[in-house]
């Protein structure tokens, strides 16, 4: 009888050492031909248990398919001949004290639709056509404007049912292309039992949720996004997992995958000190890269990983590391390791950190003491900016520093500026709902918020619905308020976002030196009374620059002087007050020739119309360069 390749001792050794980066090719359920017989081979890691049985719809969930123990009862395996694709199954684990545990497969590629909890066999074979994948290795030499999306609530059928992966593939790539986004960021698509967790409390790390279809359907969605030129990023949750009985928790009747509880979220924390657990997560990351062709990951909840006492309460035991600090040194080492592996083997993959504290060197390489990510969400910019925009106009004069403080640290990390799902839930209001004033002023404020975000150093991220100025908070069980586009103000705002995104892509000065001090220069940062910011963004070509002035007050200036770095003719290439966007139409329609009158510490200046609650962007050129935006 031929030896089962899944039981190779060298591979089992690497698994136990956490060094089998493609353990998903052997663990779980795999369709094979063994000794001339087609079927599925099952391989499970479940140490320190008495017995394991494979149960499923193929044997009426009975205990007549025992699994063979190998590797000193750490691994369990069985080959089931003739087992069809999409058969439901679980592992029945008998603990040493006789308890029976029905567990889903940790490495399952597919799962039953909730509320059912069994795993399903599946053949992942798919013919990809995304030939452009892997061509980008310089992450910072291209524009990045991310559309963050929750697949279950972006768009629904009239009866309230969700769109499938295949249906999304027909509409989402087209929408993102029309709106001029460059990347899409999926909130967790991995299998999870509770809709209200938004996907952040997982049971199936290797299975795209069956809510929207089959795994190959999800591959098709990614394939179509790539064909449209959209890069795909997944939220990845290596910090904790849910406690549901069929999941990873107490998998062998004891703590196996977990090191303890995450009290704030009511979940279990992963035990990175166990090599097999670290290897499980590393293999999972590689799986999504290799099998699903994803382009990057936003790693969720890093603060909960790197601080030992994160989320603890006053009754909790205070934890310290070997040096007496609160840093989780093992988790830090794990994060450094995953980023080193990605950098070495998959240099085209983006790694993004959602880290909410001031932990240093998040986007520095591990050999410099950093965590090794490419980008970090700039939560400080987000909080300060939204706090400012919620202020009444008189109060803005004394809080002007909320707008400018981020320039003091904008090069300390490679930042993404996020207006994410977290900012439109839990009573925080929608983004437009935070804006002061009447209907017109709310929209005007929203336009300068997005223009300020686009013009600021750093990559960009917006949650779905921001682009249509949704008034209600996001609800995971309802689709976006697409009907708002029947109202002119919302339709014009969507058009504003579309054109602003296009400007961002076309103007290298807005992204080419996002993370280089040469890419930004203040012209006027301290005009608190008038509430005006003027600054310069520069491309690598020193002759390619844009000058922007943003008025955060509702005052109109018919003649406003702004300093410019060079003498010449300046063309307005964007104005958020354009009537096409819902503004008052106070635009600078003709080229403006600079004069030798110094202003704002510049030798030259131009005199412009500066509309109320509006931003204008100028570029040096001639009449032939007038904008088409």
* H helix and E strand count, the chain: 11, 30
**Among the three residues 93, 120, 147, which one is the final residue of a domain in this structure?**
120
State the residue range of the domain holding 605: 517-625
Is the residue at 530 inside a domain? yes
Number of domains, the chain: 2
Which of 92, 120, 148 is the C-terminal boundary of a domain? 120
Name the active-site residue from 20, 354, 413, 512. Answer: 354
- Evaluate if residue 300 carries a pLDDT over 50: yes
Backbone φ and ψ for 279, nearest 5 degrees, come out as -65, -35
Tokens for 133, please give them: 């994948």
pLDDT digits (tens, 9 = 90+) for 325-338: 999 999 999 999 99
Residue 59 lies in a domain: yes
pLDDT tens-place string over residues 211-262: 999 999 999 999 999 999 999 999 999 999 999 999 999 999 999 999 999 9
Q: What is the pTM of this model?
A: 0.95
> Phi and psi at residue 411, in whole multiples of 5°?
-105, 5
CATH number assigned to the domain comprising residue 541: 2.60.40.1180
Cis upstream peptide for 584 (omega within 30°): no
415 assigned to some structural domain: no
Q: Is the pLDDT of residue 207 over 50?
A: yes
**Cβ atoms of 23 and 205 closer than 8 Å:** no
354 given a catalytic annotation: yes
Q: Is residue 425 part of a domain?
A: no
- 46-91 tens-digit pLDDT: 999 999 999 999 999 999 999 999 978 799 999 999 999 999 999 9
Which of 300, 384, 422, 479 is the catalytic position? 300
- CA dist., res. 623 & res. 572, Å (int): 10
In a domain, 262, yes or no: no
Closest listed residue to residue 32, CA positions, set 23, 24, 42, 22 = 42
Q: What is the pLDDT of residue 439?
A: 96
CB 446 within 8 A of CB 564: no
Q: Which residue has the tokens 């109109």?
A: 556
Examine the pLDDT at 136 and tell me if it is beyond 70: no
Give pLDDT tens digits for 475-528.
Answer: 999 999 999 999 999 999 999 999 999 999 999 999 999 999 999 999 999 999
349-363 pLDDT, tens digit each: 999 999 999 999 999
pLDDT category of residue 627 using cuts at 50, 70 and 90: very low
Residue 584 to residue 444: CA distance in whole angstroms = 9
For 122, residues 6+ apart whose C-beta sits below 8 A from its C-beta are 29, 85, 86, 109, 110, 214, 215
Residue 543 domain-assigned?
yes
Each residue's pLDDT tens digit, 508-517: 999 999 999 9
Report yes or no: 539 and 509 within 8 Å, Cβ to Cβ. yes
Asked if residue 319 is part of any domain, the answer here is no
Within a domain: 80: yes
Q: Report the percent of the chain where pLDDT is more than 70.
A: 97
pLDDT confidence of residue 133: 63
Q: How confident is the model at residue 1 (pLDDT cuts 50, 70, 90)?
A: very low
pLDDT in tens, 576-588: 999 999 999 999 9
Query: The domain spanning residue 113 has which CATH number?
Result: 2.60.40.10
Looking at 82, 98, 120, which one is the last position of a domain?
120
The rounded mean pLDDT for the chain is 95
């Amino acid at each position: 009888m031929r030896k089962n390749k899944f039981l190779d001792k060298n591979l089992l050794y690497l698994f136990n050492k956490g060094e089998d980066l493609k353990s998903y090719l052997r663990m779980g359920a795999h369709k094979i031909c063994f000794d001339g017989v087609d079927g599925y081979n099952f391989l499970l890691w479940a140490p320190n248990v008495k017995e394991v049985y494979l149960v499923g719809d193929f044997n009426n969930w009975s205990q007549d398919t025992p699994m063979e123990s190998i590797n000193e009862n750490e691994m369990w395996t069985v080959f089931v001949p003739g087992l069809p694709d999409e058969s439901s199954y679980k592992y029945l684990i008998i603990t040493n004290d006789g308890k029976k545990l029905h567990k889903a497969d940790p490495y399952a590629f597919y799962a039953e639709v909730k509320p059912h909890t069994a795993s399903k066999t599946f053949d992942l074979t798919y013919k990809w056509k995304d030939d452009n994948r892997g061509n980008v290795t310089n992450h910072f030499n291209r524009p990045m404007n991310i559309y963050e999306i929750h697949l279950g609530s972006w768009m629904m059928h009239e009866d309230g049912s969700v769109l499938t992966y295949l249906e999304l593939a027909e509409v989402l790539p087209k929408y993102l292309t029309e709106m001029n986004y460059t990347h899409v960021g999926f909130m967790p698509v991995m299998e999870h039992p509770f809709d209200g967790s938004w996907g952040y409390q997982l049971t199936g790390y290797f299975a795209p949720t069956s809510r929207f279809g089959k795994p190959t359907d999800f591959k098709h969605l990614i394939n179509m996004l790539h064909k449209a030129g959209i890069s795909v990023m997944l939220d990845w949750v290596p910090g904790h997992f849910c406690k549901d009985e069929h999941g990873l928790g107490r998998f062998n009747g004891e703590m196996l995958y977990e090191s303890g509880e995450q009290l704030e979220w009511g979940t279990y924390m992963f035990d990175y000190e166990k090599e097999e657990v670290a290897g499980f997560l590393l293999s999972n990351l590689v799986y999504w890269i290799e099998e699903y062709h994803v382009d990057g990951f936003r790693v969720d909840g890093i603060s909960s990983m790197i601080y030992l006492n994160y989320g603890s309460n006053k009754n909790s035991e205070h934890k310290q590391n070997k040096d007496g600090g609160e840093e989780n040194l093992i988790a830090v080492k794990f994060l450094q390791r995953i980023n080193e592996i990605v950098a070495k083997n998959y240099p085209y993959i983006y790694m993004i950190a959602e880290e909410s504290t001031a932990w240093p060197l998040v986007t520095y390489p591990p050999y410099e003491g950093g965590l090794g990510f490419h980008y970090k969400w700039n939560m400080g910019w987000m909080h300060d900016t939204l706090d400012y925009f919620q202020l009444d106009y008189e109060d803005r004069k004394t809080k002007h520093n909320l707008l400018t403080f981020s320039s003091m640290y904008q090069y300390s990390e490679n930042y993404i500026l996020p207006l994410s799902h977290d900012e439109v839930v839990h009573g925080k209001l929608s983004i437009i709902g935070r804006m002061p004033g009447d209907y017109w002023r709310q929209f005007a404020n929203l336009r300068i918020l997005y223009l300020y975000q686009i013009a600021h150093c750093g990559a960009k991220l917006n949650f779905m619905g921001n682009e249509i100025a949704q008034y209600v908070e996001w609800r995971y069980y309802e689709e976006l308020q697409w009907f708002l586009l029947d109202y002119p103000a919302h339709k014009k705002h969507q058009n504003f976002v579309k054109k602003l995104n296009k400007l961002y892509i076309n103007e290298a000065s807005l992204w080419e030196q996002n993370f280089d001090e040469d890419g930004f220069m203040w012209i006027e940062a301290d005009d608190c009374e008038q509430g005006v910011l003027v600054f310069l963004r520069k491309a690598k070509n020193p002759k390619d620059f844009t000058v922007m002035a943003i008025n955060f007050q509702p005052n109109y200036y018919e003649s406003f002087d702004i300093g410019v770095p060079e003498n010449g003719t300046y063309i307005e290439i964007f104005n958020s007050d354009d009537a096409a966007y819902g503004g008052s139409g106070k635009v600078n329609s003709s080229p403006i020739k600079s004069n030798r009158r110094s202003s704002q510490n510049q030798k030259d200046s131009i005199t412009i119309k500066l509309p109320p609650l509006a931003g204008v962007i100028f570029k040096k050129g001639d009449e032939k360069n007038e904008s088409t935006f």
